[in-house]
Structure 1
């Protein structure tokens, strides 16, 4: 991707979060499939010594784990953005508490004369 394209994506406020998530998920799936194919081709190859083979397979396995870890981080991020709890449900009590805190701050600022009446 050209630098200009990356900058326009990063700086744009018109990014559709759902589309961005779909692109990220598709990229994760592509990487996982590529790594799986790489591991299968390594196992089928006889051009590596046993030591080299184990080293490369270990590196590929670590890469797969890294992709899974990053995918989980992405899922957790989107859940937090949506206001979901640990089980994926919306936490109404936490939302009420946060709204209450924000209203209290607004009332305090208004009472202190910091906001125009």
Structure 2
């Protein structure tokens, strides 16, 4: 039986998530620099600082929501529920092999399948 992970064999989905994560890290680093500037008093007016911090929080929230949507779409596209999906064809093959071994071991009679 094969276990299908959220990312397909081609790796495209995994690369997409990797790029999204890199962008998320870049935004976070830029915002950390902005916070440093605010703390150093380099932002001229308190109103600007408050607005900038609010925009930062909204941007981070939006990025996190987008990342979650991307992960959910990838899982749905790959038939993943609860983190993993089963390859039912492989599971059927495995069951048939085991039944054949039981028949070969004797006494099993006829088994439908």
Q: TM-score, normalised by structure 2?
A: 0.55
Q: Which protein has the bigger strand share? A: 2
Matches for 1:17-96 after TM superposition, within 5 Å: 17-85=13-81, 87-90=82-85
Runs of 4+ in 1 over 6 A off after TM superposition: none
Deviation at 1:15, TM superposition (A): 8.2
Q: How many residues align?
A: 79
In our comparison, the structure showing a higher alpha carbon Rg is: 2
Let me know the Cα RMSD of the aligned residues.
2.6
Question: Greater relative contact order: 1 or 2 (C-alpha under 8 angstroms, separation 6 or more)?
Answer: 2
Q: TM-score, normalised by structure 1?
A: 0.53
Does structure 1 conserve the Cα–Cα contact (< 8 Å) formed by 2:37 and 2:43? Answer: no
Unaligned runs of at least 5 residues, structure 1: 1-13, 97-117
